[in-house]
Structure 1
Amino acid sequence: MRGYTFPVPRKLIKVSGLFLATLALCGTNAFAHDFWILPHDAMSKNGDKVIFELRIGPGVPGKQTPRLPGLIATFDAQDALGQQNVEGHDGALVIGHLKTRVPGATITSLTTNGAKITLPADEFEDYLKEEGLNKIVKARAENGESDQPGVELFYRCAKSVILVDNQSKGYDNVLGLEHELVPLTDPIKYTPGKPFVVRLFANSRPLARLQVKAELNTTPPTILRAITDKNGLVSFNLPMKGEWLFSSVDMDVSPVDGADWKSIWASLTIPVAEGNAG
C-alpha cells in the first residue's frame, strides 16, 4: 500500500505500565485510543478560570486520566488576542488551566508525543473496522497479516472550543494541527435537527474518505457517523444541544522501525446550541 510521507516523530515514548492500566479502565485496549479534553466550563465569562480534564475511552463519557509524564507535546489556546500556553503539571487530574481574556471563541489544542502499542490480531482488526479504517484491513489481508498483531505508533491532536460571554466569533479558526477537526456551523446559532458541518484537515489540507464520529453523553450514548467528502466535509443532524465530541482517525504505514502503522487521532469538543444567539 502506498502511504503518506510522515515526518519523523519529535519524541517517541513507550506505553508505560501506568498508561496501560489507564487503558484497561476503558475496556479493551483496541478501543481505548479515543482521547479528548473536556473543559469546565465550555460556556464561560470573560476572566473566568477554565480547567481541563483528559478523557480516554471507547467513547463518551470515557474515563478521566491524569497528565502523565512525557505525554504532552504542546498544550496551547488561541483567541482573538493570539496564542497563550495552557498551564499544568504532570500527575494532576486537572491536566491544564487558563483564564479567558476576550469574548468569542477560545480554542485549546493539545498534541501528544508518539506512543507505541501492540494489539492482538482480533482486537486490532475490530478496532480498524470500528473506526472505518477498511484500507488498513484490506492492506493487512493483501499482505497475509490479518492474523498478526498490530504494532501501532499513535499520536493525538485534541481540540476544545470554549465560548466566552455567549459569543462565538473565531470558532472556525484553523490551527494547522497535523490532524484537525474544524466546525463550520456556528455552535451558538445552531438549531438541533439541522445540518452541523465539520471539516477534517491534515496540516490545513482537507482529508477525504475518512470516518468522523459525533457523540453526546446520553443514556445510551448518542453516536453518529459520516464519511468526509472530497473537500473533507461531513454533515450531522445533531438531535439535541449539549457538549458534543467529534473524532476521527487516519492510519498509514509507519515511517519508523519498530512499528507497522502510524495513526493520527483528531478530536473536538464543542458546546452546541447551548447559548442564546439573540
Structure 2
Amino acid sequence: MIKTQITPLLLCLGASVWLGFSAPASAHDFWIAPGSYSAEIGETTDLSIMVGHPEDQNSWSISPHRVVSLRSVGPNGILDQQSLISGSDANDPMSLSFDSEGVHVLTIETTSAYSELEAEKFNDYLDEEGLTPIQIDRVSKRKISEPGTEIYSRRGKTIVNVGEPGDSDPSYVTSPLGLTLEVVPTTNPVRLQDGESLSAHIYYRGQAMPGVNVKLVSLDTNKGQVDSQKSDAEGKVSFPKPDTGDWMLHAIWSDPMEDTSRADYDTIFSSLSFSIN
C-alpha cells in the first residue's frame, strides 16, 4: 500500500520527481493501465504501471522491493496479486485474469524514494502548479532560497468491469480501501449517463481531505490534462462527464516531515484510472 495530524498547508510536491531521480519542474503522473477496462470471465488481460504524461508515457519498471502491495478487490474479496510481479519481466506487462463476474478494483502501493530540486526549479514548479500553501510554508521557514527535498510514494487504483457490472455498485467501489491518499468515485464511472457528473472524494489517512489538487487526464488521446479542481470542504471534486475513452483522476498531497534530516516533505501521488462508455 499513521500519522493522525492532518496539515492543510501543503497540496503537492511529488510531481517534480520520477523513478527516484530529480526531474525538471513538470508533473509526472502514475497510474495502473489494464489492457482493457472491460473483460470476460477467464479472459487474460495485460496490466501495466505507467508514469509520465499520456503523450509521453513510459512503463514503470516494476521490482518487488518497490511494491508494498498489489491487490485486487472483487466479488470474491481481497486477493494478493504480488505474485504477478515475480512472474513477469520488470519492463513487460503483467498478465491477470478474473474468475468472477462483476466490478474489480486493483490497487498498488509503493515504497518511498528521495528527490531534491534546486530552489529555482522547485519554486518555478510551485508557481506553475499554483501551490501557494507550500510557498507559504517555505517562506515561513525561511527556506525559499533552499532546495526543495521530499520523500515520495505512489498509490494507484483502477476499475475493471468483468462481464456485466450489475445493477448497483459494490461498496468497495465507492468506499475507501485504506490507501494513504485515495481517490474514491461516488459511482462506477462506467455507469455515467450524459449530463451526469464525474464525482469523487479524496481521502488522506482515512479522512475526507479538502484542498487537494485533482487533475482529470485523458489517457488514450493527446489531450492530456483537460481539467483540474481542488477538493472542497467535504473532500469532493466534480467534473462534467468526460467523453468516451480511458481517463484518470490524479491527486497529490504532501505533509511537512517531522524529521527534516531526511527531507522537508512527505509526498504522495494517487490515481484512479477507468473507462467512460
> Following the alignment from structure 1 to structure 2, what is the Cα–Cα distance between the partners of residues 131 and 62?
20
Give the one of 239, 249, 252 matched to 1:249: 252
Contact 1:192/1:241, CA 8 A, preserved across alignment: no
Query: For residue 97 of structure 1, what is the amino acid of its counterpart?
Result: S
1:40–1:173: structure 2 CA closer, same or farther, 3 Å change rule?
A: farther
Deviation at 1:201, TM superposition (A): 0.7
Corresponding position: 1:231 with 2:216: no
Task: Go from structure 1 to structure 2 and tell me whether the alpha carbon gap of 1:43 and 1:97 turns closer, same or farther (over 3 Å shift).
Answer: same
Superposed CA deviations along residues 110-132 of structure 1, whole A, max 9, x for unmatched, are 00011111112232223334445
Given that 2:55 and 2:222 are in contact with CA atoms closer than 8 Å, whether structure 1 keeps it comes out as no
Residues 263 and 19 (structure 1 numbering): CA distance in 2 closer, same or farther, change over 3 Å? closer
Cα distance change of structure 1 residues 202 and 60 upon mapping to structure 2, 3 Å threshold: farther
Aligned: 1:39 with 2:34: yes
Q: Structure 1 residue 211: deviation in Å? A: 1.2
Superposed, 1:21-170 pairs within 5 Å as 28-58=23-53, 62-68=57-63, 70-86=65-81, 87-89=84-86, 91-94=89-92, 96-167=94-165, 169-170=169-170
| CA 208–60 in structure 1, closer or farther in 2 if over 3 Å, else same | farther
The separation in 1 between residues aligned to 2:128 and 2:160, in whole angstroms, is 29
SS at match of 2:65: coil
When normalised by structure 1's length, the TM-score is: 0.82
RMSD of aligned alpha carbons: 2.5
- Return 5+ residue gaps in structure 2 as ranges: 7-17
Distance in 1 separating the partners of 2:78 and 2:26: 33
Specify the alignment match of 1:177 in structure 2: 179
Distance 1:59 1:249, change over 3 A: farther
Map of 1:15 onto structure 2: none
Give me the whole-angstrom Cα distance separating, in 1, the residues matched to 2:66 and 2:147.
24
* Structure 2 match to 1:267: 271
Taking structure 1 as reference, are residues 48 and 173 closer, same or farther at Cα in structure 2, changes over 3 Å only? farther
Given that 1:51 and 1:94 are in contact with CA atoms closer than 8 Å, whether structure 2 keeps it comes out as: no
Q: Does the Cα contact within 8 Å between 2:182 and 2:271 map onto a contact in 1?
A: yes
Tell me the SS of whatever aligns to 1:124.
helix
- Contact 2:215/2:225 (CA < 8 Å) preserved in 1? no
Structure 1 residues 74, 60: closer, same or farther in 2, change over 3 A? farther
Q: Aligned pair count?
A: 255
Aligned pair partner of 1:190 in 170, 189, 192: 192
Deviation of 1:220 (Å): 3.3
Q: Which moved more, 1:199-208 or 1:183-192?
A: 183-192
Between the aligned partners of 2:105 and 2:126, the Cα distance in structure 1 is: 29
In structure 2, relative to structure 1, the CA distance for the partners of 1:247 and 1:131 (3 Å cut) is: farther
Q: Calculate the TM-score normalised by the size of structure 2.
A: 0.83
Q: What is the aligned-residue identity percentage? A: 24
Distance (Å, rounded) in 2 between the aligned partners of 1:5 and 1:104: 37
Structure 1 unmatched runs, 5+: 7-17
Judge conservation of contact 1:152–1:260 (CA < 8 Å) in 2: yes
